[in-house]
Amino acid sequence: MKIIDGKATAAEIKSEIAKEVAEMIDIGKDVPHLAAILIGDDPASQTYVSGKEKSCKKVGFISSLYKFPADISEKELLKVVDFINKDDEVNGLIVQLPLPDHINVNKIIESIDPSKDVDGFHPLNVGKMVLNLPAYLPATPYGILQLFERYNIETVGKNCVILGRSNIVGTPISILMSRKAYPGNCTVTVCHSKTKNLEKICRTADILIAAIGSPEFVTADMVKKDAVVIDVGIHRVKSKETKSGYKLLGDVKFDEVSKKCSYITPVPGGVGPMTIVSLLKNTLKAAKKEVYK
């Protein structure tokens, strides 16, 4: 069994991006600029956004943060997005989710200029992804593809089972794994809360991607010998084993599944660190006008 080290891979890609930014500066090009909008004071969202800002700094990008209280109106938020859309100095724009209930999230996402939508959430980018046209890919699925690539994991003709059908992970990774491309060319099955015989389907997987949002859901008896297991889950649960009183668990029961599979991503240090790297890669593509000319 081999551990897929997302932390090390992310560090490697970040240093490649930093090198490219230094070269851009040398030849007088503008450095990539990512803007983030953060609404309210949800601690997880604050942590994610500050992680994104720190990573920008590390690779030499400019980052700007637009922070507003949870009671900002939808109209005001649309004005902010419009303002950033029109700012020629900003290459990428993300609106951290979730948004407060009084704001229509789809309306906000659709208001983002698709050429700046480095989260890949705008319907135009989703549509382009489905058609295998140049598009910004959503961060977590893009991070998973990069792990397959960096570890030279064969995907053609494999049975890929995906647990979860969210807009952010399950649905886009199902499209990407079935596309005529590498990584891709898989026969994909998507399992969700209404799936019958889920455990049996999991046992057919050469590649199992768990994004179901339930701690340690995948047990060894659900995994075929030598499968590749990608764990997208991250859950902070109470623990007597750690000083902090908490530990992080994935959607996969790591101790038992790792003994049976050929490759596995740990939690933490697997898929997580790759998501920010994907956002940086998309922002770099935006600055270089690689997706929208």
Cα(231)–Cα(48) distance, integer angstroms = 19
Q: Give the tokens for residue 41.
A: 């004071």
Q: Which residue is nearest to ligand GUN (CB)?
A: 97
Looking at residue 88, the DSSP 8-state letter turns out to be T
Residue of 5, 117, 119, 231 interacting with ligand GUN (CB under 6 A) = 119
Instruction: Given the residues 96, 158, 281, 285, select the one marked as catalytic.
Output: 96
Instruction: Considering only the stretches 27-35, 85-93, 95-103, 148-156, report the one whose residues sit in contact with ligand GUN under the rule CB under 6 A.
Output: 95-103
Of 9 and 275, the one with the shorter C-beta distance to ligand GUN is 275
- The answer to whether residue 226 is catalytic is no
Write out the two tokens for 158: 């494999």
CA distance 99 to 42: 10
96 annotated active-site: yes
Cα distances from 207 to residues 163, 165, 174, 185, 254, in angstroms, run 11, 16, 12, 12, 15
Report the residue from 139, 145, 177, 218 that binds ligand GUN according to the rule CB under 6 A.
139
Q: Which residues pair with 188 in a beta bridge?
A: 160
- Residue 231: name the closest of 246, 210, 212, 258 by CA: 210
Question: Catalytic one among 5, 117, 119, 206?
Answer: 119
Span interacting with ligand GUN, options 56-64, 92-100, 234-242, 258-266, rule CB under 6 A: 92-100
Query: Any contact of residue 96 with ligand GUN (CB under 6 A)?
Result: yes
Residue 94's SS3 state is: strand
**Active site (annotated) includes residue 119:** yes
List the beta bridge partners of residue 2. Answer: 263
Q: How far is the CB of 95 from ligand GUN (least distance, A)?
A: 6
Q: Is residue 234 close enough to count as binding ligand GUN by CB under 6 A?
A: no
Residue 130 touches ligand GUN, criterion: CB under 6 A? no
Which whole-number Å values give the CA distances from 253 to 84, 258, 275, 282, in the listed order?
Answer: 43, 8, 22, 32
Of 94, 129, 135, 252, the one binding ligand GUN by CB under 6 A: 94
Which residues are catalytically annotated? 52, 96, 119
* Residues contributing to the site for ligand GUN (CB under 6 A): 94-97, 119, 139, 168
